[in-house]
A = this chain, B = another copy of it.
Amino acid sequence: MSPWPAARVGDPIQAIDTPALLLDLDAFEANLGRMMAAVQGSKVRLRPHAKSHKCVEIARRQVAIGAVGICCQKVSEAAVFARAGIADILVTNQVVGEAKIRHLVELARMARIGVLVDHPAQVAALLAATRAQQASLDVYVEVDVGSHRCGVAPTDAGTLAQRIVQSPPLRFAGLHCYHGAAQHLRSPGEREAAIAKAAQATREARRQVEQLGIRVAVVTGAGTGTFIHERDSGEFDEIQPGSYIFMDADYRANQAAPADVPFEQALFVLSTVLSRPDRAQAVLDAGLKASSVDSGMPQVWQRPGLRYLKASDEHGVVVGNGVTSLELGEKLLLVPGHCDPTVNLYDQLICVRQDVVESIWPIEARGALL
């Protein structure tokens, strides 16, 4: 990491060294509140995904206002949060490999831990480890409800659930029915239709389990792009949105329907113009190592004529109307294309309110890949 911090508490935004990852606290707090309001009055509980932020302070704030726990994507990520006192963590992933499973089961002594399976061999490995370590785990069957990544077909959910029920001390906790591919469908109608199909697949999976006399305690899924549909489907007990606290260019490109909850852009990469060559372009100090480009280039915030054209390791080229009036040293805010892998590039969130640094939060689970 950098040998010096990008900012100190009390600094004005103009004094922040760049590139730096900024969190606009007013927007962030508004987003936290709007998501809680969106589930209040429904039967759905909020279990936000911590893979987006990897930050203990944010997880604590989510739980403090009503989240029932968090999701993580990796065992080592879950370990960071469990050790920090988060008491209820669902690892929304298959966990394979003896060392990894041993670590997972160790966490179950500190917190309530859930994990996914989509194959009987995973059940057998979890069973062996929980017996050896005298611990238990909540085990969810992952169902493929449309993303076609991991997961069993809805018709196979019953068989796998039964395997878990027959494997104490493992606890069959329910069904994981996340439709990742639906999150960035651009039109509201496409998203609604995709989740209608996912809800139908979920219903079928539940039927398969229940007809074996097994209770489905929890159905969990959903993300920032579609959660209103899972909430309203009647099929889901928990939702797992992550990006809503930050937002990014990819989510901003979704067209909104009147029923959608508006979230504000709260996450930015602050960058500096380091070169203004004779050509009609400016070069920023924020490239591939400052903003993930897997979902498109970052966007220049509130400078409508400017376009971030291309990124190399540590440079970004900006073109467009007004670029020749940019000055060396001028600072631009960028909206990352994809918030999750961008946050994973930084060690700290520089939290600003009305252009002053109010606090600096470590991103403790940055790089927790295992």
Contact = CB atoms under 8 A, between A and B. Distances in A.
Interface stretch (A34-42, A250-258, A271-279): A271-279
A165 interface: no
Contact of A277 (B93, B118, B273, B288): B118
Interface residues of A, number: 74
A370 B4 contact: yes
Interface string A4-44: 10100000000101111000000000000000000000000
Interface centre among A51, A150, A293 (most CB of B within 10 A): A150
A95 B313 contact: no
A152 interface: yes
A328 interface: yes
The main secondary structure of chain A at its interface with chain B is loop
Contact of A3 (B119, B276, B368): B368
A64 interface: no
A283 interface: yes
Contact of A288 (B278, B341, B370): B341
Contacts of A180: 312
Interface of A: 1-4, 6, 15, 17-20, 51, 73-74, 76, 79-80, 83, 93-97, 99-100, 103, 118-119, 121-122, 144, 148-153, 156, 180, 272-279, 283, 285, 288-290, 292-294, 311-315, 317, 328-329, 338, 340-341, 344-347, 366-370
- Please provide the 7 A-B residue pairs with the shortest distance between their CB atoms, ordered closest to farther: A150-B275, A2-B76, A94-B274, A1-B367, A96-B274, A2-B370, A73-B314
